[in-house]
Amino acid sequence: MSDTPGTMLLDRVNGPEDLRSMPIEDLERLAAEIRAAIIAQVQRSGGHLAPNLGVVELTIALHYVFDFSYDRLLFDVGHQCYPHKLLTGRAPLLNGLRTSKGMSGFPEPAESVYDLFRVGHAGTGISTAVGMARGDQLSGEMYDPERNPGGRRVVTLVGDASIVNGVAMEGLNNAGTLGRQFLVVLNDNGMSISKPQGAIAGYFDRVRVSHTYADLKKGAKELLSRIPGGGVIRGAYHRAGEMTKALINEDSWFEKFNLLTVGPIDGHHLPTLIEFLTEARDIDRPMVLHVKTTKGKGLDIAEADATAFHSPKAFRVERDEKLGCRVEIKSTGRSFTAAFADAISDLMRRDERAVACTAAMPDGTGISRVLDQFPDRAWDTGICESHALDMMAGLARTGFKPFFAVYSTFLQRAFDQAFQEVALQGLPVRLCIDRAGLVGGDGAVHHGFCDTALLRTLPGAAITAAIDEPSLVAALEFMRTYEEGLSAVRYPRDTVSARLAGEPCPPFELGKARLLTDEFADLNERRPDVAVLAFGVPAIDAMEAADRLRGEYGVAVWDARFAKPVDAALIGDLLRRRIPVVTVEDHSIVGGFGSAVIDAAQEMWLDTSCITRVGLPDDWIMQDSRAEQRRIAGIDADGVIRAIRLAADTGASSLSVPRSAPVHENT
């Protein structure tokens, strides 16, 4: 490829075929351009920064050696895919990162044939890759050095300590039974989202420190004669090139899974990466290539604090020779996560039986504060939500009061534990569900749209939602004393509203709603035209809607507080008075709070035809700002106004809602 001074190599990469036409000596410059492009964009929009900076050379080398328009590339985890997207023709979409006008921050098959799965949860890459490897084998398309040298190869790129996830362990166990080419590239950066936890993380720390290339070469052939499956791996050894042979890891934990293990190698040295991947490409047995990288590589502030720059908001860097470097991260106000961090810290000070944990999200959930303050009563378990919830069940059984702080999207992975080890046992484990509802730029892979529907099925569960900081504090206090079973409070990735600042927040009472519009305190004296029952932060939008409709309709607004049990007495009173009811929630219309209201009405044999439900549509909402997503879903103030007018002005028993329209369902 000819080079004109001043031109950008990245501008010429419309696909990996352009990359493969470059001389290797140009690739370091390309890597620098990719880093610069990612840094500039994330400074403007926010996004996953440190994970992507760490895999630039590794991604270039993978696309240089393999042809992933035909071969298979699976990501685990998906947030390390920005360089991959820039190399597969999506550089023009970078300016719209994490919006509907640009590229998703995760692999997205709708964008490119190079993305095979939408990937937002850790641990899945090896298992899906095993499935594709078996599929290609069954269809006769797999690579075989003798019978089908032009066949498909399979690669999975594992990073940010997702290898410790239980699903990854299951995938490794099965990968070792494959009698074909299968490559796991372990991007070992010594980090998860934050500092990795557990014995396996400790093992990798020791490998990074203790193994030199000479150590790894020593005894490799002897090892092959005695490990399980040694005959299989010995054959792979003889087919490997000299560099791969020299770095066969004699003490590898992966070899217990019958996986030939090579490395660790330098994940930022392109010639070494390309040479090793070229050799690994033609080994027709499952293997692991252990690659050492630096999370945040190329940006000093991200290298120094990879946790803070894992997925920052938009930020600005000011550098001064005398004052040094100052980073200003865009702030939109006090977050629910910050409010939770203060509240759980205060609660644990007041109650010595309270304990807390999170699964690899100490900063994202606010648990980092109590990890420092109460190191004997707070834990980060690493990327293992199922284990974390079972551990909390064990603590509950021994008389403690466990609080598990978890993103809604990741709680789904521990539903079996919520059922078997918590609810079935009648144990009072407390779920603090961050990122409930729509999450903005992370998009469909991270929306917390089904936690209420899942947890409502569990007998004895108490499911609450916060509308602001005082109500979050009150919900946690209710949960602290709730001993009848599982309890949960959900709150969004958003700033806390100050609308009710200065007003007293009454304590939570099981199954009781809170009236937010005092003028309707006595329904005998003043009957509203419409009653809105809002679950969680949409209550604030409902109050705005009521204000804007004042003079047109009288709208009473309740903070429902509970999706289980709902306030059956209130629901019964409203329906018997024939007051139209609108339910609104930041949750799927399927199985959520609105469904719970209908269930309660039907149990009382009441007519439900005047209930209008507003919630997230039964469809995927893609990446964009949370405000835009709420507008699309119709759960913002404008959407609530439309629902109120519909409820007040029509007597229709059902509505046919277009796929693209907000969900307003009369029942």
pLDDT greater than 80 at residue 326: no
The stretch 59-85 carries a mean pLDDT of: 95
Which among 637, 614, 531, 623 is positioned nearest to 576, based on CA atoms?
A: 531
Q: Higher confidence at residue 454 or residue 205?
A: 454
pLDDT greater than 60 at residue 20: yes
Residue 341 burial (10 A CB sphere; 0-12, 13-18, 19+): buried
Name, in order, each residue with C-beta under 8 angstroms of 76's C-beta and a sequence gap of 6 or more: 119, 122, 123, 124, 125, 126, 156, 157, 158, 159, 162, 168
- State which H helix or E strand residue 404 sits in: strand 401-407
The stretch 379-397 carries a mean pLDDT of: 94
- The distance in angstroms from the start CA to the end CA of the chain is 64
The stretch 558-570 carries a mean pLDDT of: 98
389 and 422 Cβ atoms separated by less than 8 Å: yes
The stretch 271-290 carries a mean pLDDT of: 92
Would you mind telling me the total number of residues written for the chain in this entry?
667
545 and 640 Cβ atoms separated by less than 8 Å: yes
**pLDDT for residue 246:** 58
342-369 pLDDT, tens digit each = 999 999 999 999 999 999 899 999 999 9
pLDDT greater than 80 at residue 222: no
Instruction: Calculate the average pLDDT of the chain.
Output: 88
**pLDDT for residue 207:** 46
181 and 279 Cβ atoms separated by less than 8 Å: no
The stretch 198-208 carries a mean pLDDT of: 49
Q: How far apart are CA 428 and CA 69, in angstroms?
A: 50
Which among 612, 634, 593 is positioned nearest to 451, based on CA atoms?
A: 593
98-134 pLDDT, tens digit each = 998 999 999 999 999 999 999 988 888 999 999 999 9
Q: How far does CA 565 lie from the centroid of its chain? A: 28
pLDDT greater than 60 at residue 60: yes
Architecture of the domain whose range is 514-666: 3-Layer(aba) Sandwich (3.40)
615 and 560 Cβ atoms separated by less than 8 Å: no
Q: How far apart are CA 630 and CA 437, in angstroms?
A: 9
pLDDT greater than 90 at residue 584: yes
pLDDT greater than 50 at residue 643: yes
Percent of the chain with pLDDT over 90: 73
473-518 pLDDT, tens digit each = 999 999 999 999 999 999 999 999 999 998 999 999 999 999 999 9
Residue 391 falls in which region: left (phi positive, over 0), alpha (psi -120 to 50) or beta: alpha
- Classify the C-alpha dihedral 70-75-78-83 as positive or negative: negative
Tokens of 266: 């330098």
Active site residues: 295, 385, 413
Q: How far does CA 148 lie from the centroid of its chain? A: 39
**pLDDT for residue 314:** 86
**pLDDT for residue 261:** 87
pLDDT greater than 60 at residue 191: no
Domains 10-292 and 336-490 share a fold: yes
| CATH code assigned to 10-292 | 3.40.50.970
**pLDDT for residue 258:** 86
Where does the pLDDT of residue 202 fall: very low under 50, low under 70, confident under 90, or very high at 90 and above? low
37-51 pLDDT, tens digit each = 999 999 999 999 999
**pLDDT for residue 607:** 93
The stretch 158-169 carries a mean pLDDT of: 83
**pLDDT for residue 316:** 85
608 and 601 Cβ atoms separated by less than 8 Å: yes
Which one is the CATH code of 336-490: 1.10.10.10, 3.40.50.970, 2.60.410.10, 3.40.50.300? Answer: 3.40.50.970
The stretch 314-318 carries a mean pLDDT of: 83
**pLDDT for residue 652:** 34
Cis amide linkage into residue 565, ω under 30° from 0: yes
Q: pTM of the entire structure?
A: 0.84
Q: Phi, psi at residue 164, to the nearest 5°?
A: -85, -5
**pLDDT for residue 216:** 39
What secondary structure does DSSP assign to 601-628, as a single string? HHHTT---TTEEEEEE-SS---SS-HHH
Q: Please, where are the H alpha helices in 259-381? A: 270-281, 300-304, 336-350, 362-365, 368-373
**pLDDT for residue 502:** 85
- Classify the C-alpha dihedral 435-440-442-447 as positive or negative: positive
pLDDT greater than 60 at residue 384: yes
Q: Where are the domains of the chain?
A: 10-292, 336-490, 514-666
Helix and strand totals (H; E) in the chain: 27, 20
Q: How far apart are CA 20 and CA 65, in angstroms?
A: 8
pLDDT greater than 50 at residue 213: no
Tokens of 8: 């950008």
403 and 488 Cβ atoms separated by less than 8 Å: no
3-state secondary structure of 557: strand
Q: How far apart are CA 622 and CA 612, in angstroms?
A: 25
**pLDDT for residue 233:** 46
Tokens of 423: 């609810």
pLDDT greater than 60 at residue 236: no
Q: How far apart are CA 448 and CA 335, in angstroms?
A: 17
Which among 537, 555, 536 is positioned nearest to 545, based on CA atoms?
A: 555
Q: Which amino acid is at 571?
A: I
The stretch 272-294 carries a mean pLDDT of: 92
